[in-house]
Chains A and B, each alone.
Chain A
Amino acid sequence: MNQAPPLALADVGVVLDGRPIVRDVTFDVQPGQVVAILGANGSGKSTLLKALVGLNPISHGSVLLFGTPQPRFRDWARVGYVPQRSNLGTGVPATVREVVASGRIARRRPFVPMSRHEHDLVDHAVDLVGLAGRATHPVSTLSGGQQQRVLVARTLAGEPDLLLLDEPNAGVDHASQLAIAETLGGRADAGASIVVVLHELGPFAPLIDRVVALREGRITYDGPPDQLAEGAAHAHHHHDDDDHGPLPPMQAPLEGGR
């Protein structure tokens, strides 16, 4: 069977408020592959990830999810998004288990209660990130790192084939980073594809098959992580598609909607 890659981007551009943030990004992700999108603040890496799940508009180019163009894609249960940690603890109280159970939402139908099997999946996801002892605690009583683990567990409870994580290391303690990395490694071994936006590889380094480095919205490096240091330093020498060379940063916003 000819299987479409879980994720394929071609010439993707994202424009927010008239400002091009992501430009000409092309790469694809194969089943079971773990790809890190690396870049400094403002490199467009989170903007790109949000565009993949429909939270930002794709202004240019195309995104294929499991072979289907993203605007027509409906099987969102196969895609698991882990947002950057937000204020989980504010508002009405909610337990760890309630938040993780909401990760099943893409697979649930209205008015149908969760089956025994689904309850087990939720418990298993809580257990995977090492929070089984805190399942009935309000998320507001968790540390920052533990809250980030709750967000990972929530997405895992939905059993996605493609995981998209937005800076799961930001503001997260070392122990939680290790717990998250180990959990994701297990999912990759089970055949899931993972795209993780990172500031630096950190404890994720052993998992990463491939690094896509972004700088000011463009790919400056795409390859194995061990050649990254050299590749990033001489971005334009290694980038085959780059026919006009890197533009000076000051001119970038004037490029128009590309």
Chain B
Amino acid sequence: MWDLLLAPFMIRAVIAAAVTGLAAPGIGTYLVQRRLSLLGDGIGHITVTGVALGLLTGTSPTYTAVVVAVLGALAIELIRTSGKATGDLALALLFYGGIAGGLVLVQLAGNGAFALQAYLFGSITTISADDVVVSLVLAGIVIVAGLALMPQLFAVSHDEDFARASGVPVWFYNTLVSVLAAVTVSVAMRTVGLLLVSALMIIPVATSQQFSRSFRSTMLFAMVGGLLASLGGVVISAFLNLPPGATIVLVSLAGFVATSPVGMLLHRRRRAQVPYDADALPLHEAAGERHRHEHGPGCGHLAVEHGDHVDYVHDGHRHAVHVTGEGQHYDEH
């Protein structure tokens, strides 16, 4: 069975899957932060026309896909920043125009829609050595830019107004993120296919952000998760004779589903511990409940900061220690 894993086509597939799995969630983290989770999907739709142009003209669809994807990303960015109320609609027109135009062009090329299938759903096991090299270079650019420009891209994605007021060329970095997303789509096209590209950009980020505290760790864990899902998906699909692209996405989804109960618990716990803001004057109303124990670390009641002291959540009430000359009791806060 190890013969299969060491076959040249399998080695090429594993390399292509690995770089896609790293690059897609890397750029996907910025898309999620900018609330553009579906941007990859939109670029994917437009890229169908790029692939068809390649088939029609006899050039490698990988190259035409990159060019059309980048042009599409620039168009989306232009529509988005023009700030028209119809921007949302314009994007939809662009997406469906892209997919319909691609289908018509492919028919003109005499290939029929069948030729598109390898690009719509991925065909990682038929990837050529040249395509592997192109994927390595393009994914490398995306990963390096995504990591090395993190301060700039984070500032722009996190608070665009603040970045603009700081004199940062916001349009440049926004466009850069879109272009990097377009390049990622072109790379991932051969691995997971244009229709599932967005999944690999977003799902690992959704999984990772359940646990991480920082932006940086969200991104790094998402990249590791994307890498594991891609490698796992390729190997599983090879042994079980499943479509690789879809298997990669399902493995990635399985990772999210398996971790989400823990993620939800963690989220609820964090929400519950958000400190209460304190008013100038604390309340002095003694708590009605009888206390058989003293509230403190490890007493089992949730401790939440309230201004300069700690409240304990006790049967839906917030109790704060109040020490007087006659001893201590609990105030309702």
Contact = CB atoms under 8 A, between A and B. Distances in A.
The 6 residue pairs across chains A and B that have the minimum distance between CB atoms: A76-B167, A173-B277, A53-B165, A81-B165, A106-B166, A105-B155
Interface residues of B, number: 42
Contact of A79 (B165, B209, B270): B165
A55 B161 contact: yes
A111 B274 contact: no
Nearest to A136: B213
Interface string B263-277: 000000011011111
B214 A101 contact: no
Interface in B289-313: 305, 307-308
Interface string B82-124: 0000000000000000000000000000000000000000000
Contact of A145 (B159, B209, B218, B277): B277
Given A76-B167, A92-B33, A101-B151, A83 B162 contact: yes
Contacts of B51: none
A39 interface: no
Given A154-B162, A174-B278, 20 more contacts: A54-B165, A77-B166, A91-B158, A92-B29, A93-B209, A93-B218, A94-B214, A95-B214, A98-B154, A99-B158, A102-B155, A102-B162, A104-B151, A110-B148, A137-B213, A140-B270, A143-B274, A143-B305, A158-B166, A175-B308
A92 B270 contact: no
Nearest to A101: B151
A8 to B, nearest CB: 18
A153 to B, nearest CB: 13
Interface of B: 29, 32-33, 35, 148-149, 151-152, 154-155, 158-159, 161-168, 205, 209, 212-216, 218-219, 270-271, 273-280, 305, 307-308
A121 interface: no
A246 B150 CA distance: 51
A137 B214 CA distance: 8
Contacts of B212: 93
B260 to A, nearest CB: 16
Contacts of A47: none
B291 to A, nearest CB: 26
Given A92-B29, A142-B275, A143-B277, A83 B163 contact: no
Interface string A29-58: 000000000000000000000000111000
Given A92-B29, A154-B162, A105 B168 contact: yes
B214 A136 contact: yes
A86 interface: yes
Contacts of A175: 277-278, 307-308
Nearest to B32: A92
Given A83-B161, A108-B151, A144-B277, A93 B215 contact: yes
B101 to A, nearest CB: 33
Contacts of B279: 173-174
A220 interface: no
Which of A92, A101, A104, A145 counts the most chain B CB atoms within 10 A? A92
Which of B35, B154, B213, B276 counts the most chain A CB atoms within 10 A? B213
Contact of A142 (B154, B274, B307, B308): B274
A76 B165 contact: yes
Contacts of A83: 159, 161-162, 165
Contacts of B213: 93, 95, 136-138
A146 B273 CA distance: 14
A98 B166 contact: no
Nearest to A99: B158
A193 interface: no
14 contacts: A54-B164, A79-B165, A91-B33, A91-B158, A92-B209, A92-B218, A93-B214, A93-B215, A98-B214, A105-B168, A106-B167, A136-B213, A145-B277, A173-B279
Contacts of A137: 213
Nearest to B148: A111
A91 B161 contact: no
A102 B274 contact: no
B276 A77 contact: no
